[in-house]
C-alpha cells in the first residue's frame, strides 16, 4: 500500500517562486522535513520515495507543465496502484483563497485551475483529496495567466500558507482522517 502526494507546478527556473508553483513548494517542504530527494525521473514526474509508519510515500512533481498535469498523475496512479479517493492528495495554488490560507477538500470541481482540470479529465473522476494554497486574486487589470506565473511578493504570507500545507500533508501521510486534517488547517 502506498500514498501519493503530488504537487502541481511548472518546471524551470523562470517559474520558481511563482504563484502557480505552490504545489511544488509544499512537496519540497515535506521532502526536506523527511530528508527525501525528489530526483527520480519517472511517469513524466520528478519523484522521491520514503517509508513512513510502514507505508510507502511517493512525492511527485509533474514535469509536464501545469496544463498537462493529468498525464503525469494518471501515469503515477497506474504505476503505483493508487486508490485516488483515499491514498492520493494533490496540492495546487488557488486564487480564490487569501494569501496564507489553505483548504482541504475530498472532491470538487477544478474551478479556474487548468492543472486540476487536466487531472480530472485524465483520471476521469473528481473524487480525490486536494489541498489548495491561497495566492489571492490578481490585481485589477492584470491577466490571470500573468498573475499566476509571476513571482509572489508577500513572502511571509505565502510561507505561512506553505507551512500549513506541509502540516496538512504530514497529517495525510501519517494517517490522520480527512476530517481531522480539515479541522486543523481549513
Q: What is the CATH number of domain 2-185?
A: 3.40.50.1470
From the list 8, 9, 19, 20, the catalytic residue is 20
Report the 10 Å Cβ neighbour count for 1.
Answer: 10
How do residues 116-140 score in pLDDT, each as one tens digit? 999 999 999 999 999 999 999 988 8
**Which segments of the chain have a pLDDT < 50?**
none
pTM of the model: 0.95
Rounded-to-10 torsion of CA 66, 162, 31, 152: 50
Active site residue 20: yes
Q: How many CA atoms lie within 13 A of 77 on its CB side?
A: 21
Amino acid at each position: 500500500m502506498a500514498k501519493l502526494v503530488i504537487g502541481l507546478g511548472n518546471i524551470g527556473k523562470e517559474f520558481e517562486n511563482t504563484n502557480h508553483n505552490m504545489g511544488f513548494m509544499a512537496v519540497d517542504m515535506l521532502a526536506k522535513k523527511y530528508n527525501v530527494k525528489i530526483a527520480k525521473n519517472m511517469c513524466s514526474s520528478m519523484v522521491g520515495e520514503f517509508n513512513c509508519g510502514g507505508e510507502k510515500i511517493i512525492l511527485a512533481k509533474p514535469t509536464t507543465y501545469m496544463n498537462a498535469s493529468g498525464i503525469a498523475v494518471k501515469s503515477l496512479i497506474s504505476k503505483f496502484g493508487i486508490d485516488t479517493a483515499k491514498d492520493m492528495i494533490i496540492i495546487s495554488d488557488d486564487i480564490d483563497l487569501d494569501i496564507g490560507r489553505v483548504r482541504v477538500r475530498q472532491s470538487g470541481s477544478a474551478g479556474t485551475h487548468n492543472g486540476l482540470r487536466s487531472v480530472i479529465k485524465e483520471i476521469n473522476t473528481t473524487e480525490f483529496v486536494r489541498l489548495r494554497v491561497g495566492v489571492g486574486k490578481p490585481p485589477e487589470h492584470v491577466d490571470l495567466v500573468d498573475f499566476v506565473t509571476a513571482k509572489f511578493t508577500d513572502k511571509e504570507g505565502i510561507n505561512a500558507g506553505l507551512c500549513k500545507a506541509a502540516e496538512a500533508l504530514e497529517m495525510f501521510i501519517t494517517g490522520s482522517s480527512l476530517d481531522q486534517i480539515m479541522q486543523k488547517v481549513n
